[in-house]
Structure 1
Amino acid sequence: MIQYSKQTDERREAGPMECWCLHGAVGMASDWRGFAKSLAAGGIGTRAVDLWRFLDCCPMSLPEFGKALNADASGEISRNRGRALLGYSMGGRMALHALLENPHPWQAAIIVGAHPGLEDEADRASRRTTDTAWASRALAGNWQEFQDAWNGQPVLGKPIAREKQASGSLIMRRREIARSFVDWSLGAQQPLWDRLGEITIPVLWVVGENDAKFRELAGRAVPLLPNGHLAIAPGSGHRVPWEADEWFAETVSGFLKLGSLR
């Protein structure tokens, strides 16, 4: 049974472990429902976080988000023995910011197709310009055309299948989604490469076999993590949790059960 927490988060209780899941750009908490069901079958609970609620009232930088998410987790009475943090794409970048806070409440992490940061300021400026255009389309453009354009990007691959009602409700968050293209843009993010060594908990870094750009980034990032592990999803592109859903659920479940949260 799905329970709602913090207004629009989705929680599924199932045993002593809990994995908090952060969706990607133009995503939603319900994107994790299939994954949550698979983990529950193996005795792992989940909490799918609605990232848009963090932008309900005002702007929030990536470092500020990391602090806010950790405060959410730390402020709850946990009946679990362990808590893991999982982030996909934009959510993976956000997870890294939470993990770089000291202290933080996480015992393990899974990072999927995330970018540790652009190292050249000119590249960051260019990305900010691109994301400002996306923000404008999200806020004031035709919503269906915006979604089609976003999902049509070759780097993303196959769109995430959503229930019609869930997909339709995303338009209610268009203001927050537009804001995220400014506050949480890769261009607004300071490069984290030199800080990855500060993350000492076990980290599983997941990429798709066919996602060449992010495989290269993962190949650089994982050796910088003191306890990092690389997992490559066979035949998958960028959206591993949905393109290789069975493999992903089994891989994450195995990682969490093999000592990370025990």
Structure 2
Amino acid sequence: MTILFVPGFMADSTLWDDMVALLDAPRPLQFANLDTGDSIPGMALAVLDQAPADFVLVGFSMGGYVAREMARLAPDRVQALALIATSAREDSPEQARRKASALRQLSSARFSGLGRASVTASVHPSRSRDEGLIERVRAMSIKLGKDVFARQAAIQRDSDIDVLSEIRCPTLIVAADGDLLRSIEEAKELVAGIPDAELAVIPGSGHMIPLEAPRALAETLSGWLKKTRTA
């Protein structure tokens, strides 16, 4: 069965390269993008339109919001769900303020990718001077460009805590113990809300788990997928 990967904010399919090279799981693999759609439901419908008849779904960060919406829209098609470094909470006032400020600056400036401060906040503090890692994150945003940034930054992420129980497929929640953007508490809220969901915590990683801890993530997903297939 196809495994469909959905990236996060200003990320593309290269987010998954290191991890899928280590993944012990059936093929084919399919990689969605979030460069169309002006809302979480709109993105979910766009990805579903390109998805196979049924599939295992893996969503990262903002892609986790999209993936949950997909699971609710097409429960007969989503056979299992993995949510990585994501949350069921709405945008906080501070997050909304930062996004509004970024959009105002964007209208009068040339887009040159995500800023260094925002990228370093997304990785483990021990990796804040890892230039190779920082540039990989920035390169994805530069490739996607100004229009995609404007569209994604304008999207309001609403809480779906009250409807998490509608997700009925086997679900894995993956969090990182050094994630400065999404807390373990937020991961536990997902586990509490989705029936029979499991939690895995990746040590020594920040928010960008697929890039920071590809082997640990691959092993976690591989083990869960095997268990799901034999359940």
TM-score normalised per structure 1: 0.74
Question: Which of 197, 200, 204 is the matching residue for 1:235?
Answer: 204
Q: Give 3-state SS (helix, strand or coil) of 1:226's partner.
A: coil
Shift of 1:83: 1.5
Structure 2 match to 1:207: 175
Shift of 1:104: 4.8
Structure 1 match to 2:10: 26
Per the alignment, do residues 106 and 139 of structure 1 end up closer, same or farther by CA in structure 2, a change over 3 Å counting? farther
Residue 141 (structure 1) aligned with residue 74 (structure 2): no
Report if the CA contact (8 A) 1:207-1:232 is conserved. Answer: yes
Q: Give 3-state SS (helix, strand or coil) of 1:86's partner.
A: strand
Residue 69 (structure 1) aligned with residue 47 (structure 2): yes
Structure 2 match to 1:10: none
Report if the CA contact (8 A) 2:87-2:190 is conserved. Answer: no
Report if the CA contact (8 A) 1:108-1:261 is conserved. Answer: no
Per the alignment, do residues 67 and 50 of structure 1 end up closer, same or farther by CA in structure 2, a change over 3 Å counting? closer
Shift of 1:67: 2.3
Per the alignment, do residues 42 and 28 of structure 1 end up closer, same or farther by CA in structure 2, a change over 3 Å counting? same
Question: Which of 78, 102, 127 is the matching residue for 1:106?
Answer: 78
Residue 85 (structure 1) aligned with residue 57 (structure 2): yes
Aligned length: 224
Structure 1 match to 2:29: 46
Q: Which runs of 5+ in 1 are unaligned?
A: 1-16
Structure 2 match to 1:14: none
Q: Give 3-state SS (helix, strand or coil) of 2:22's partner.
A: helix
Shift of 1:42: 4.2
Query: 1:84, 1:20 → 2: CA distance?
Result: 6
Shift of 1:144: 4.2
Query: 1:249, 1:115 → 2: CA distance?
Result: 21
- Output the amino acid matched with 1:197: S
Report if the CA contact (8 A) 1:31-1:162 is conserved. Answer: no
- Report the identity percentage: 24
Residue 256 (structure 1) aligned with residue 228 (structure 2): no
Query: 1:163, 1:137 → 2: CA distance?
Result: 22
Report if the CA contact (8 A) 1:205-1:231 is conserved. Answer: yes
Higher relative contact order (CA 8 A, sep 6+): 2
Question: Which of 88, 94, 101 is the matching residue for 1:116?
Answer: 88
Shift of 1:261: 7.8
Kindly report structure 1 stretches of 4+ aligned residues shifted beyond 6 Å: none
Shift of 1:224: 1.5
Shift of 1:124: 4.5
Q: Which runs of 5+ in 2 are unaligned?
A: none
Q: Give 3-state SS (helix, strand or coil) of 1:85's partner.
A: strand
